[in-house]
Amino acid sequence: MSRTISILLGLALVWLTAWSLAAYFTYASGSESLRTAAQLSTPSTVLEQGADVRIEGTLVAAPTVKATYSERHCLAAHTTIIALSRYQDSQDNWWTDSAVIKELRVGPGNIVIAADDRRIELPLDRWAARDRTSEAMQELPARLGVTAGEVAAAKARLRGSFTGFSVSEGAIDGGTHVFVVGKLEDRDGSLLLAPDRLLGHVDLFLGTQADYVKEMERKGSSARTVAWVFAPIGPLPLAVLGLVLLVRSRKRRAVIDAPSRA
């Protein structure tokens, strides 16, 4: 086997391994989303210390605050500031890398959710906005309060060349109907939300439980479909290389057999 063929075979095997792993993890992620959707489709019936929470409610209005980036008035806002870069891997493919510089939250100390005749509270620092808008930029506005040291620390974690920044922000308003996934702290006093045992965080979904479950089912089904569609591409380089070797072998045999026929 020639050196060129050996190199091509090695690259094809690397491609097959990487593609197979990507397809597997995509399928596994989709399956996990479907399992989670099934487990979260039943609402909780008891609100007490230490209990799991799967309940619909309404965000209780409070004095509004100004979102850090968009500066719109809202109940609470969550802003994430990210440094971006581009780098090239060993196969000469270009990728984007990112590093979080800072996360900023504004709002009441506890976000209050009215559920029937009870009230549960989500500490602001445990809330992460699900619905966000993002904007890329070359310079950060001064109002974000990001220091040169924070930017330098984020850049040091990036691969490749720094390309700019991205700011994403999500906000919520009082009176919004929400579906809450989490668990209640096992302590006396206010009903405080803590990270869900299944998800590892508190999920505050703007909508109904049915909408939440449908969204998770849609994501899970889409991920599994993508895995099935793209899985056959993994062996393609090996198949092409095998075809090339077959053609070369037949040509070589034809050259060897030519004198005997003459």
For residues 30 and 24, what is the distance between their CA atoms, to the nearest angstrom?
Answer: 10
Strand pairing report for 52-59 and 76-88: unpaired
pLDDT tens figures, 132-180 = 999 999 999 999 999 999 999 999 999 999 999 999 999 999 999 999 9
Most confident range (mean pLDDT) of 83-92, 161-170, 224-233 is 161-170
For residues 21 and 106, what is the distance between their CA atoms, to the nearest angstrom?
Answer: 40
**Residue 142 DSSP code:** G
* More confident: 198 or 36: 198
Query: Rg of the Cα trace of the chain?
Result: 27
Structure confidence at residue 61 (pLDDT): 96
pLDDT-derived band at 50 (thresholds 50, 70, 90) equals confident
For residues 59 and 75, what is the distance between their CA atoms, to the nearest angstrom?
Answer: 9
Element of type H or E holding 22: helix 3-39
Residue 53's DSSP bridge partners are: 182
**Residue 243 DSSP code:** H
Structure confidence at residue 49 (pLDDT): 85
Average the pLDDT over each of 18-32, 110-124, 186-200 and give the range with the smallest value: 18-32
22: region left, alpha or beta (phi > 0 left; psi from -120 to 50 alpha): alpha
For residues 1 and 22, what is the distance between their CA atoms, to the nearest angstrom?
Answer: 30
pLDDT-derived band at 244 (thresholds 50, 70, 90) equals low
Structure confidence at residue 148 (pLDDT): 96
Structure confidence at residue 165 (pLDDT): 98
* Contact in structure between 73 and 173 (CB atoms under 8 Å): no
Structure confidence at residue 216 (pLDDT): 74
pLDDT tens figures, 189-227 = 889 999 998 889 999 999 998 888 887 777 766 666 665
Q: Which residues contact 194 (CB under 8 A, 6 or more apart)?
A: 126, 182, 183, 184, 185, 202
* Average pLDDT of the residues of the chain: 83
HEC profile of 154-204: HHHCCCCEEEEEEEEEEEECCCCEEEEEEEECCCCCCEEEECCCCCCCCEE
Structure confidence at residue 212 (pLDDT): 86
Average the pLDDT over each of 11-25, 80-94, 150-164, 172-186 and give the range with the smallest value: 11-25
* More confident: 53 or 248: 53
